[in-house]
């Protein structure tokens, strides 16, 4: 099977390149297929003729979306529509990556796939409306929601915490924002399994273990062997441009119905840390200076 990954240079795209097995992958960045331009998307599909498309391209920085809502709409919503329309025209199945931030955080148990959405930010709203339009255009598509993605390949919360600790900066993390961290390589493998299963509808790709950012940071630093104190912070202490839900853990029931499980994020930390060390060593080069 040939699988085209649009957003192939991002955190998840790079994890897909490393962890996906058994298929021919075409990894596309914005230079290969700018999803804001429907003609580029169409040309990309005609040229590569994939059997499946995984759409992982998005503006996922919440505050960036809040400050530039028109660009967020153009990429996160209109871009998804352009890809879905091209896939429908050429008979290609599609998996669209979405987010836990389509929920408002008012629930205190993991969100199921059919819980009502109520996004608090421009980012969440653009992803929520994109979900609806992708499913309208391509009824056989799969919406794959993911929360708190972390990986060694690109900037993410876990890398930021470790960078702070290793440079001697103070580490503070929210004790009252709760969701579920998911290692990018585990998400990539789950995506591959969903593609091979011919999954349709909405699926939450997640492990079942919710945690606050504060407790995640403490466990991450412990696993890294860094004896650094983490100071708890509260959502009210942070001046964000775009609001985040206080609770956005996703239930893994929909994933388990496909016979797929994602391992506990704590079990994934050694693999993540080993890859981070490997990448930093390679970047430093033989002389050890970056």
pLDDT digits (tens, 9 = 90+) for 85-106: 999 999 999 999 999 999 999 9
Low-confidence winner among 70-79, 95-104, 116-125, 149-158 (lowest mean pLDDT): 149-158
Q: Is the dihedral of CA 119, 121, 124, 127 positive or negative?
A: positive
CA distances from 11 to 112, 243, 277 (A): 25, 23, 17
Q: Which of 101, 123, 214, 247 is catalytic?
A: 123
Q: What does the DSSP 8-state code read for residue 244?
A: -
3-class DSSP assignment, residue 148: coil
CATH of domain 2-279: 3.40.50.720
- 246-266: pLDDT as tens digits: 999 999 999 999 999 999 999
What is the residue extent of each domain of the chain? 2-279
- Residue 18: half-sphere exposure toward Cβ, Cα within 13 Å: 18
- Active-site residue, 111 included: no
The pTM assigned to this predicted structure is 0.94
Helix %, strand %, coil % of the chain (to 5): 45, 15, 40
């Amino acid at each position: 099977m040939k699988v085209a990954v649009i957003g192939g240079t991002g955190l998840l795209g790079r994890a897909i390149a490393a962890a996906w097995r058994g298929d021919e992958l075409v990894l596309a960045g914005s230079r290969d297929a700018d999803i804001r331009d429907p003609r580029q998307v169409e040309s990309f599909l005609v040229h590569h003729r994939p059997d499946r498309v995984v759409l992982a391209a998005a503006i996922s920085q919440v505050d960036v979306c809040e400050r530039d809502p028109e660009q967020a709409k153009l990429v996160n919503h209109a871009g998804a529509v352009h890809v879905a329309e091209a896939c429908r025209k050429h008979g290609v199945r599609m998996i669209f990556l979405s987010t836990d931030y389509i929920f408002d955080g008012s629930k205190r148990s993991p969100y199921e796939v059919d819980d009502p959405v109520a996004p608090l930010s421009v980012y969440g709203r653009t992803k929520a409306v994109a979900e609806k339009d992708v499913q309208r255009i391509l009824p056989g598509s799969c919406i794959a929601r993911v929360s708190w993605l972390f990986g060694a390949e690109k900037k993410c919360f876990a890398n930021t915490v470790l960078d702070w600790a290793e440079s001697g900066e103070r580490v503070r993390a929210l004790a009252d924002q709760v969701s579920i961290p998911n290692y990018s390589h585990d998400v990539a493998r789950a995506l591959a399994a969903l593609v091979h299963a011919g999954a349709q509808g909405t699926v939450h790709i997640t492990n079942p273990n919710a945690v606050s950012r504060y407790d995640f940071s403490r466990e991450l630093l412990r696993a890294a062997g860094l004896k650094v104190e983490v100071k708890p912070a509260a959502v009210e202490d942070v001046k964000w441009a775009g609001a985040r839900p206080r609770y956005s853990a996703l239930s893994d029931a929909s994933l388990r119905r496909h016979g797929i499980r994602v391992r506990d994020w704590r079990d994934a930390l050694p693999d993540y840390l080993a890859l981070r060390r490997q990448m930093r060593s390679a970047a430093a080069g033989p002389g050890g200076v970056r």
